[in-house]
Structure 1
């Protein structure tokens, strides 16, 4: 389908090493001149769905400043521009859980909030886990927890897991497991 939007110009409103907020002057689909704001993440989101030899899923928990609450999630982080997505995911898994993995599989690609940001996220399944030392960022005080898929789904239902990439990855994994 042809793009009905016409971009006239773009202005950066705010920028940090993590995000850039842009305002585009546009002609919208109705033909009217308008403005459209976009949040651009400077990194691509990457996540690992670590599954151990018993079929248990490893989650990480931390207090999230932006939503002022504790959050359970799959191990997540960011890939720098031009960084290999799988290598970035391996790094994030090791930093947050201490695990490395023998077997990696591309699993999920999504746009977490497509109406306001161009952010993309990629999730890989990690199997053949080997324990090691964690190396969290200075802003992370992490706990690890292993759960069954059923327990993870119950955590979503109880709103203990609300982070979008984690919810999407766990639900997709549940659908695949049910389909056999």
Structure 2
């Protein structure tokens, strides 16, 4: 099968923009030649996720109310990193901000698109090891709870549908496979 772009963009216009996202509306010809519109959300940061894992295979989850979902969510520590910065530096900053944890060992385990039907957001996920505890310093927009638990309990939360955040689900499932294969 060909991997060429079957869409034709006739016209594009910026509909909205802020410090984090831009929204563009495209007038298009779809792959069948029909006219239509396509809305595209452009993210100005990487999505960064970190699964901290200590020697006893404990991890930490962050709980917070997610405004767009209108629901409380338990997740791995997450945040954003500028596209022109080293994602690992952003991961180190986010882990320290949200949990107070400093890690000496980092492994990138996943790159994934979070909603490739409407956005270009790229997530980069790390496992952090060699942990030491410090003081969390969340941003003013964050009201966080921190929860330490065995990794197996976090894995069970994914299986039970208690963790639904896509980066958290991917990180926990991938880490479970890595642990089963004794790769860390």
TM-score by length of 2: 0.92
- Provide the C-alpha distance between the structure 1 equivalents of 2:59 and 2:118, rounded to a whole number of angstroms: 31
After TM superposition, where is structure 1 displaced by more than 4 Å over at least 4 residues in a row? none
| C-alpha separation in 2, matches of 1:92 and 1:24 | 34
> Can you list the C-alpha shifts for 1:95-149, whole angstroms capped at 9, x where unaligned?
0000111101111000011111111100111000111111101011111112223
Q: Which runs of 5+ in 2 are unaligned?
A: none
Q: TM-score by structure 1 length?
A: 0.94
SS of equivalent residue, structure 1 residue 25: strand
Unaligned runs of 5+ in 1: none
Aligned position for 2:143: 141
- The counterpart of 2:172, out of the listed 170, 173, 180, is 170
What is the Cα deviation at residue 150 of structure 1?
2.1
- State the secondary structure of the residue aligned to 2:68: helix
RMSD of aligned C-alpha atoms? 1.3
Work out the CA distance in 2 between the residues paired with 1:48 and 1:133: 17
Q: Which residue of 2 aligns with 1:153?
A: 155
Q: 1:79: which partner in 2?
A: 81
Q: How many residues align?
A: 180
Match of 1:26 among 28, 37, 41: 28
